[in-house]
Structure 1
Amino acid sequence: MSEYEFDDTPDRIDVDAVWAYLSTDAYWGRKRTRADFEAQLAAAWRVVGVYHRGTGAQVGFARALSDGVGTAYLADVFVLESARGQGLGKALVRAMIEEGPGAGFRWMLHTRDAHTLYESFGFTVPNSMYMERPGGF
């Protein structure tokens, strides 16, 4: 994992690389337009990118929405297939929810296939107090 670095500088995000993944490989991202994604990126409370130290290529990404005080939503988390199996996904989630300004916040997310990853950070199935009105994505 030492060949990769994590950075939360928004201007460093390779928008083309992230869009390429979200628009083709991410089941949750394919219904968005590029303009939708760029608006979400511009409005993000925080982003974290994962970059190969040698090439500078972006291999991972996570985005968060937040009120900046106590609640945050984790979105668009991914690590490219070519960089998986090295603990980057766990490190990316940790960087976003435990090592940044949102440590201690109530975090929420949606996932269809990564429950084990998020459960390792304390995420659980909501109880009867939680309600949601599903949107178009």
Structure 2
Amino acid sequence: MHDDLPGDDDTDYELDDDPSRVQRDVVWGWLSTEAYWGRWRSRADVETQIANSWRVVGAYRRDTGEQVGFARAVSDGVGFAYLADVFVLDAHRGHGLGKRLIRLMIDDGPGASMRWTLFTGDAHGLYRQFGFAEPDETAMVRPARQGT
């Protein structure tokens, strides 16, 4: 599935959910140095997470094909999905790519009617635009165990 809709904020970029297009060196480079939420992961961990994801979406420059953004999701494929590892490289921010990644992943994809969850420490305003809200009293989270 492509996101090339007329009227996009910036036609210099295209989005695609083809996992074979993911440039793993780009994803690893950003997640291992910039992601406050997951720098503990090894390259093998990230490779496994990408391979086992239900869906991945990448943002690419039209002229070079260079990957400049990424999002992945894990899901049961029916009623629940978890959004993870959403990023846009600094030099490509300000073009609406973060919103386009999220829209293609959750609203325009096969999980549009699912219950979505995510964790974020700094992008609450962005995700609220897509219907995310703080959990109610029915939600519980088991934190990761120390040393894992």
TM-score if structure 2 supplies the norm length? 0.91
Deviation of the 1:114 alpha carbon:
0.3
Q: Give me the identity figure in percent.
A: 61
2:35 is matched with 26
2:52 is the counterpart of 1:43:
yes
Q: Which of the residues 101, 113, 124 maps onto 2:122?
A: 113
2:88 is matched with 79
Q: Which amino acid aligns with 2:82?
A: Y
Gaps of 5+ in 2: 1-9
The structure, 1 or 2, with the larger RCO (C-alpha pairs under 8 Å, 6+ apart) is 1
TM-score if structure 1 supplies the norm length? 0.98
RMSD: 0.9
The alignment of Structure 1 onto Structure 2 pairs a total of residues equal to 137
Q: Which of the residues 131, 134, 139 maps onto 1:125?
A: 134
Taking the aligned partners of 1:48 and 1:135, their CA distance within structure 2 comes to: 26
User: Deviations 1:90-112 (Å, cap 9, x if unpaired)?
Assistant: 11100000001111110000000
Taking the aligned partners of 1:109 and 1:87, their CA distance within structure 2 comes to: 20
Q: Which of the residues 23, 38, 44 maps onto 1:14?
A: 23
SS at match of 2:83: strand
